Structure 1
Amino acid sequence: MSSSEDKEASLGSLGLATIWFGGMVSVPSLFIGSTLIAGLPFKEVILAGLIGFSIVAVFMSLESVAAVEQRMNTVELASSAFGRGGANVVLGIALGLSLLGWFGVQSAVAGASFARIMQMYFALPAPVWLCSLLLGLLMMLTAVFGFRHVKWLNFIGVPCKIALLAYAMVVAFQSHSWELIANYQPEPARRIDFLAAVGMCIGFFSVGGVVSPDYARHARTRTDAVVGSVLGLIPSALGMAACGAVLAIVQQTYDIVEIYARMGMPGLALSVLIVAAWTTNVMNAYSSGLALNGLLHWPPARRRLATLLAGVLGSVLAASGILDHFTNFLMLLTATVPPVAGVIVCDYWLAGSYRPVGGSNGSGSEWKRNGIVAWACGLATMMLVEHPIHSVLGIVVAAAVYYLLARERRDLSRGQRA
């Protein structure tokens, strides 16, 4: 390993786990629990989360080990299968649009919280859509012009998020017993298929799982990458989902804004919810802008313009009511993102076809048919198969198709040499 790589490889397992833990302590993490508890008993919510997050942890760990061995980020690893240009487009579509949607979800949470504060304390009926739009644009400007100061926002926001969550759980268990929560049963009409719930959990963190090489490449060893990924994801994801489910049961609503509005000191609780959404959303806008920049083949100097465009589109999504379609959005994530992991993992671990293309030697316009066709087949499987197991099938089909295409190409090359 070179001296520059030594400097990069500075993350131990605890450091990497802390990064993922910080990302999981967020409003959407509570959303997945409050959404699932509407249609599943509490124990099944936890089981669905354990299965779904464990599936993500598997491909996340395999990608992370590859990232450590090659010291490459997600796009550079994917370039072997998709080509440099193909990786930019596929990841730009799958990840960029997903992050754009998350920006809209977070902006909608902040807008609904602000509107509720205005109604409760000032008797002003502020339209939720307008509050979501304006706050989304303000968050976007933070990402475009004030990114260097975001760390200060996190210094305030992360402790506030943890304190708010701890306070909410204390309030919940002061008035309700564990038996009530453990024995909770949803309304029969709202029942969710268990495998569909597993798929929603996969979709919830599939983006993080696919982009894990961006962070894991800085891990010191392969063991650090795996341990840090698993410890950073599964305990925190399950814990946040459980908290969201508990709060939904106690407050008898599945709306996270309404849950906090019904707590003691609602103004403070909702204000912290806004800050919590803000800290996460700046990163959504920034990352979505980077993905959009690559998708449009813009030079790095136009990153701010791409972030501006991403923020405006995300704010419009928030104003149009994306929060009311949160479940559908999760299902969309499940369809577009996991097949990318299937292709990357197969290329590196199964097909023996990995060839480094990233970095300074990478081609900016190269497209590789095998990766794009395999991803498209995985995506088509998830879109066409109605059974809830399609979440896993999309990954498997993408990997299988890529393996067959890679083998066919290898056999053809051998035949030509003969």
Structure 2
Amino acid sequence: MAAARAVGVDDHALTRVPTTARYGWWSVALQRFGQISGLSQFVLGATLGFGMDFWTAFWALTLGSVIVEVLSIFIGIIGVREGLPTSVLARWTGFGRVGSSLIGLAIALSLIGWFGIQSAISADALAGLVGVFPAPVWSVLFGLGVTAVVLWGFGSMNWAAYITVPAFLLLVGWSTVHELVRYDIGHLVASAPPGPQLSLVQGTTLVAGGAIAGAIITPDMTRFNRSTADVVKQTVVGISLGEYVVGLAGVLLAHATRSADVTAIAVSSVGWVGTLVVIMGALKINDWNLYSSGLGVVNFIESVFGRKVNRATVTVVLGLVGSLLAAAGILDRFADFLTLLGVAFPPIAGVMIAEYFVVKRWRGDLEASRASGTLPATAPTWVPATLVVWLLAFCVGEFVDWGLPSINSVVFAFVAYVVLGRLGLVRGVGVSRDMGAGAPVSDESEVAASDDTPASLTVPHVPAASSGTSR
């Protein structure tokens, strides 16, 4: 374990986050904002602005944000109460050990793919701004730089957020004002969309669908919150700012330039400032892509192979693989696959919320073990009803054109799971003993080091138990 900690921290990858390792809501909100803002949000805003007038785009951003916020709050509350990441929570929120391993694998594949794509985008920007190296070399350097931040867990990512998020906001403000100062803002707000018209439903779908995958991994973040109220404040502030500040800037730029390609316009018009916008935005999104991917892999390996591996070690491997794939230029070919994989995420939210707040088949196990800071002694090996609901909800989201696809799949999964629960059909098949059962969480001081952690928030210290081969 000492050797593993020499290169990073495990960051409570398979255990509850203790009270002493929690952070103030503003620190987590800043990370939430950084996760949802960036180049992709700029592009989303431009897409809305190209097909909508300003106020229709405003309402699309509002409705989409509310949908994502509601889901994020409910799932985030589960995370802050139990102190566990999404893939581990899934064992006792309807999916069982088999289902949680599938969730961990899906999260890992999806996010490490987007990690590589974001690294490649940033590499192109760096090659144009700095030169010196070709883009493939920058892909590796940028990816390894993000990996170094993620290696030390939530604490180092928190410091990165305090640097990159304000810098990103300043750069976005600079590039947007530089471009818009030549236009009459009142005229832009009142102008018709320059491109083919999008409906409010289509716009809301784009907003909610683009952020809902991030909502599913909310517990990875909110397990470091201190209270339910903090989760609500952090979610509303982080998501609202991310959607409105960056999204509406993209809308106005699309109206001003009569083009949806505002990223290229911003970069070409303000040079290095626009390039830094791309890089800063990608850095803060990419650290969470890699972080949650690592948590998913750790859970998958423990669930399937019964081995506990250190999160930091997994992070190094994933960061290197993602960076090399980005340098090879092959990840763009898998963008459609990654998008399709993202359709599998919304039903997870419906099942988890239904199980934890309504059906409560395994909630008692979580609550009983929470008092001692441990995990439940056992988990269902698999839950057939949940896997059926998950598959059907995926089909609803993919093939039903009416309404909002991502929301359709969430609502279907929620209702179907509740109905099956009320009929007594939600049952576990097989029992798996948890490897960490009875082992209390440890106070990982390197994670707990935070300027906004009051001394009054303490719990009795319990010596850490040995938990695996490499920890």
For normalisation by structure 1, the TM-score amounts to 0.81
Check conservation: 1:370, 1:405, Cα contact below 8 A: yes
How far off is 1:367 after superposition? 1.9
How far off is 1:383 after superposition? 1.3
The answer to whether structure 1 residue 262 and structure 2 residue 268 are counterparts is yes
SS class of match (1:204): helix
Check conservation: 2:290, 2:318, Cα contact below 8 A: no
Mapped to 1, the partners of 2:74 and 2:325 lie a distance apart of 36
2:411 corresponding residue in structure 1: 396
Offset from partner CA, 1:161-187 (integer Å, 9 cap, x none):
122111123213311112232123334
SS class of match (1:90): helix
Taking only the aligned residue pairs, the percentage that are identical comes to 23
SS class of match (1:366): strand
SS class of match (1:361): coil
Mapped to 2, the partners of 1:69 and 1:87 lie a distance apart of 19
Of the three residues 183, 201, 211, the one matched with 2:207 is: 201
For 1:237-316, list aligned pairs within 5 A.
237-264=243-270, 266-297=271-302, 299-301=308-310, 304-305=313-314, 307-309=316-318, 312-313=321-322, 316=325
Mapped to 1, the partners of 2:110 and 2:158 lie a distance apart of 23
For normalisation by structure 2, the TM-score amounts to 0.73
The answer to whether structure 1 residue 83 and structure 2 residue 86 are counterparts is no
2:51 corresponding residue in structure 1: 39
Offset from partner CA, 1:54-113 (integer Å, 9 cap, x none):
1111121112223333333323332121013321312431x2233234324422421332
For the structure 1 residues 57 and 72, does the alpha-carbon distance in structure 2 shift closer, same or farther, using more than 3 Å as the test?
same
Of the three residues 219, 223, 230, the one matched with 2:229 is: 223
Mapped to 2, the partners of 1:50 and 1:208 lie a distance apart of 17
Of the three residues 166, 170, 190, the one matched with 1:159 is: 166
Unaligned runs of 5+ in 2: 1-16, 429-471
Mapped to 2, the partners of 1:373 and 1:141 lie a distance apart of 39
Report which stretch shifted further, 42-51 or 95-104: 95-104
For 1:38-187, list aligned pairs within 5 A.
38-80=50-92, 81-93=94-106, 95-117=107-129, 131=135, 133-145=136-148, 147-148=151-152, 156-187=163-194
Q: What's the Cα RMSD here?
A: 3.4
Unaligned runs of 5+ in 1: 414-418
1:348 corresponding residue in structure 2: 356
Offset from partner CA, 1:208-252 (integer Å, 9 cap, x none):
212222332343332222232222212332222111222233344
Mapped to 1, the partners of 2:175 and 2:315 lie a distance apart of 38
State the AA in 1 paired with 2:168: K
Mapped to 1, the partners of 2:280 and 2:22 lie a distance apart of 32
Mapped to 1, the partners of 2:82 and 2:314 lie a distance apart of 31
For the structure 1 residues 196 and 365, does the alpha-carbon distance in structure 2 shift closer, same or farther, using more than 3 Å as the test?
same
How many pairs does the alignment contain? Answer: 395
Check conservation: 1:289, 1:308, Cα contact below 8 A: no
How far off is 1:320 after superposition? 4.2
2:387 corresponding residue in structure 1: 372
Offset from partner CA, 1:122-166 (integer Å, 9 cap, x none):
8x9x9xxx72x4333223323445634767765553333122111
Check conservation: 1:113, 1:257, Cα contact below 8 A: no
2:396 corresponding residue in structure 1: 381
1:19 corresponding residue in structure 2: 31
Report which stretch shifted further, 398-407 or 356-365: 356-365
Check conservation: 1:82, 1:371, Cα contact below 8 A: yes
Q: Which structure shows the bigger proportion of residues in helix conformation? A: 1
